[in-house]
Structure 1
């Protein structure tokens, strides 16, 4: 199934890495949700995926039917159910993810600041921009060096 590069994207980041078994279980739930996801009675062209055992990504190709307020609310409610089922947090926007070698880690804002101050995170550290709005941004602006991310506006004065 081919999706438009302008397809809308929602990224939810878990506060912990899920096990492979949890990812398999969550993917089935995501697939079931997206199979029935509709807006005003029109089936949406959607898919969902989990990347790096941590990021839940919902994609809607709005070239056929757009996501409405009610359909977006249903997705948020679904994600809240996943939070409860797996004992994770998906809505903390100040839980910031970054690459540490091959590992993907996350840290609350205050810990992220400390990592910057001590040089564990630098301007070249890859961070995750979960504010990506569409498929093109997901592909080109989601995993970026700290210096090229929105993070620099918030923490730039702490970089060595």
Structure 2
């Protein structure tokens, strides 16, 4: 039983965040999560099952975590997960791996995504600010997913994309 509930992962569990370029809802989300669960159920490193879990947020963000205190993920096992997700992108109709977008929550609460240059332009125009909630898809631990994934732009690497404070 290598797959556990996400809440069962220790705070120090290693984490990868995959972000959908467009929202994944309904049957597409169900298909994605079923595929991920099947992959996690059989996920191994050098033949040893990985203690792992996944979480899904805002129809956009998939977190996959591994309790490396139990068993380390290997390069090959990590590559296999990335490949499985890439292979499923056509089924769900959007990218999950390596889209490089910037994600934020607009005033209505909807998650938006654009390229870094577009986000910088939105900041220059005042459409986003240091108070805008942003998502840090570069986090690498379960505790960061639980406590610091969404935060004001001023408290994230996104601050580099904002105009200098006056």
Shorter-normalised TM range? over 0.9
> C-alpha separation between the residues in 2 aligned to 1:27 and 1:158?
41
Counterpart for residue 149 of structure 1? 156
> C-alpha separation between the residues in 2 aligned to 1:110 and 1:8?
30
Counterpart for residue 138 of structure 2? 131
Q: Conserved in 2, the CA contact under 8 Å of 1:96 and 1:108?
A: yes
Matches within 5 A, 1:1-160: 1=4, 2-90=8-96, 91-93=98-100, 95-101=101-107, 102-153=109-160, 155-157=161-163
> C-alpha separation between the residues in 1 aligned to 2:48 and 2:135?
32
> C-alpha separation between the residues in 2 aligned to 1:68 and 1:19?
31
> C-alpha separation between the residues in 2 aligned to 1:158 and 1:15?
28
Tell me the CA shift for residue 120 of structure 1. Answer: 1.2
Q: Which runs of 4+ in 1 moved over 4 A?
A: none
Q: Conserved in 2, the CA contact under 8 Å of 1:11 and 1:130?
A: yes
Q: TM-score, normalised by structure 2?
A: 0.89
Q: Conserved in 1, the CA contact under 8 Å of 2:45 and 2:72?
A: yes
> C-alpha separation between the residues in 2 aligned to 1:158 and 1:83?
38
Tell me the CA shift for residue 112 of structure 1. Answer: 1.1
Deviations 1:92-119 (A, max 9, x none): 12x1100013111111222212211111
> C-alpha separation between the residues in 1 aligned to 2:164 and 2:119?
10
Q: TM-score, normalised by structure 1?
A: 0.92
Q: Which has the higher strand share?
A: 1
How many residue pairs get aligned? The number is 158
SS in 1 for 2:162: helix
Output the aligned Cα RMSD.
1.5
Deviations 1:33-59 (A, max 9, x none): 100000011100111222111111111
Tell me the CA shift for residue 159 of structure 1. Answer: 6.2
